[in-house]
Structure 1
């Protein structure tokens, strides 16, 4: 019996030791994985790879679409029920809150590393921050002074502006089939919103002035992320201070007086803070979408949002925008479908064209190795 007890005790010790060894091995693997992920985020190239891996075009554009619908409701609450009719100051609150959140991420080492300063000149970051202030501030001012229909009509003009600007600045062209699809989209949105064209002279001037900075803003956001190693959050961290500065400059010119006399109670302040949080998410999701797709695709997404809201109100809430508006929304959605399919086909063609080159590069060392083995075999046979 003593011998049996000793053998059982020895087996139990071996089992516990093996379990401890397995636990230690799993802990080491987990620690190595954590360390590699940390090192991956400590470089701008690694952070960009992580963003591309976990936030592809579908995820980024879906995220941006959901946040855009949410901020429409939030801004309606702030400017309607709360009565905060200061669009530039509201935009300033959005970007100032975003800056505070980014500083919080920076303090806790949660902000991705920016590329070296020599890779991107400061003039590019300064220009992006400036046009972002004009694009966001003038957009909210146009929405305040014009109807939603006229605002959407002005947004249609952003699409050809982007195409022309990218051709002039970077010699970038798009296919004739994509041009036709974009024309169908613009025509459909115009027909869908033609029944709501109320504007005044000042609002029309603001809408026209907003078109160019909006197009340049989307082009720069997309190009800096795709051509450099910038992530959305790191680019926001660098450009938001410039945006805040220009919004402060724009406030006295475009906002009505009396912002200090606004009733700042708990309910009103809470609604404005919720709008600010949604503004940060909108800026982040928009930057992710521009980095994953293109400036033109981001504009098409905005027009898709308009059509979905119009058709959703008709199907779910019984609103009656009119037969003409519904037909225009359906036409626009058809054009968007064609444009999306053409973009996906172009991406797949690029991948297919790159595949034979990669196979050729991978097969070349193997062929050279086979030649070496054959020559060695011939040498051996000659020796024999």
Structure 2
């Protein structure tokens, strides 16, 4: 009977192997179907937008943006401090060139989400956003170079009421009194936290003032196009980045000091600049995701949250001593941010930007009387 048992054992082994092969085949087919489904989803703007919303909600997007923002602060301190690369506009130019090359690579391997049909978003809207991005990003880095961190943060505080006013004028969007009070607490807290680092520089103050309006409009347009016209963050970056690069070129001789070509371009310095550029791409991407998932005002509040966390983190971890006044201001700001976030979570059904009665979003019937909406974001004159 030993040989019979042996045959039965071999038969069981064959069945087990076939079962495992069958399971592996089913798993492989399921994986292939998932990959095919994901690929097909990226082939339409609506599908790509659904994928972005599914995998990158408000919490994920804002956490991603927070982590990258803290990292790039350290990288830019290294580049402009230890490396001595004092050309903020050219650094911004390198950031966007790197982003454009990465996006071109994504497009070459067919993982870049497609853009919505051109009839839904006029090219003038894309051109306007790309141009404003150049001024917002370039002036921000220039302001950071010529101003102290405290004055830079004070200028950022002014972006919040500018966004609230602009959204009211453009979209007739209003916010509740409780949210206004929370935003005021955030602004006052940040002002108190950074008041000890205020250093006035006339040229820096002019740059900071000129940066406020482009920064506010830039955030509003990024949020609007993603929420109203089925744009994903990467698709919108692909369309606007070349325009931003084009406008950064004439800004360099105006705002950058001479001597960029004679800079010490050694391997160590180039590596530091490229690390900053890669983080710059991630910052732009994460910021776009956060604006698409939340709102322009929430993104500004997140920026103030980063300031307070860095200040308190230095006090708790690195034994820095910003002073009791700055610590108290940071606590006030964080309290206001907590209240503002809580109020937003209590009203999940409230849309970030209204889709009707807006001067920027006008329904336009085509010749065959269809009901499609032609979304237009007209250039904003300020």
Sort the TM-score into its range (normalised by shorter chain).
Answer: 0.7 to 0.9
Relative to 1, partners in 2 of residues 1:106 and 1:3: Cα closer, same or farther, differing over 3 Å?
same
Measured against aligned partners, the alpha-carbon deviations of 1:55-87 in whole angstroms (never above 9, x if no partner) come to 111111111111111111111111111111111
Q: Deviations over 1:175-221 (max 9, x none)?
A: 11100100010010111111111121111110000000000000011
Per the alignment, residue 368 of structure 1 pairs with none
d(CA) in 2 for partners of 1:330 and 1:10?
71
Tell me the residue number matched to 1:266. Answer: 267
Counterpart for residue 291 of structure 1: 292
Three-state SS of the structure 1 residue aligned to 2:346 is helix
User: For residues 120 and 176 of structure 2, what CA distance do their matches in structure 1 show?
Assistant: 31
1:251 is matched with which residue?
Answer: 252
Partner secondary structure for residue 118 of structure 1: helix
**Shift in Å at residue 9 of structure 1?**
7.0
CA contact (8 A) 1:189 1:332 kept: yes
Aligned counterparts of 2:58 and 2:288: Cα–Cα separation in 1: 11
Residues 1:280 and 2:277 aligned together: no
Offset at residue 240 of structure 1 (A): 0.2
* Structure 2 runs not aligned, ≥5 long: 352-382
Which residue in 1 is equivalent to 2:101?
100
1:215-271 deviations in whole A, cap 9, x for unaligned? 000001111111121111111000000000110011111111111111111111111
**2:111 aligns to what?**
110
Q: State the number of aligned residues.
A: 350
Higher-Rg member (1/2): 1
Most deviating of 215-224 and 22-31 = 22-31
How far 1:338 moved relative to its partner? 0.2
- Structure 2 distance, partners of 1:37, 1:191, is 48
Where does residue 301 of structure 1 map in the other structure? 302
Q: 1:24 to 1:127 in 2, by over 3 A?
A: same
Q: State yes or no: 1:336 paired with 2:375.
A: no
TM-score (norm 1): 0.87
Residue 182, structure 1, aligned to residue 183, structure 2: yes
2:122 equivalent to 1:121: yes
Q: Any residues of structure 2 matched to 1:64-143 within 5 Å, and which? A: 64-143=65-144
CA distance in 1, matches of 2:320, 2:51: 43
Work out the CA distance in 2 between the residues paired with 1:284 and 1:89. 20
Give, in angstroms, the shift of residue 17 of structure 1.
5.0
Report the CA distance shift for 1:73/1:20 in structure 2 as closer, same or farther (over 3 A): closer
SS in 2 for 1:84: coil
Asked whether 1:36 is paired with 2:37, we answer yes
Higher helix content, 1 or 2: 1
**TM-score, normalization: structure 2?**
0.87
Match of 1:356 in 2: none
Aligned CA-pair RMSD: 1.8
1:325-348 Cα offsets, whole Å, 9 max, x none, are 111111000000000000000116
The yes-or-no answer on 1:227 pairing with 2:239 is no
Provide Cα deviations, 1:126-169, integer angstroms capped at 9, x if missing partner. 11111111001001111111111000000000000000001111
How big is the shift at 1:15? 5.8
* Larger CA deviation: 106-115 vs 204-213: 106-115
Q: Measure the CA separation in 2 of the matches of 1:6 and 1:70.
A: 64
Deviation at 1:11, TM superposition (A): 6.7
Gaps of 5+ in 1: 351-384
* Partner of residue 51, structure 1: 52
For residues 9 and 204 of structure 1, what CA distance do their matches in structure 2 show? 84
The answer to whether the 8 Å contact 1:184/1:331 transfers is yes
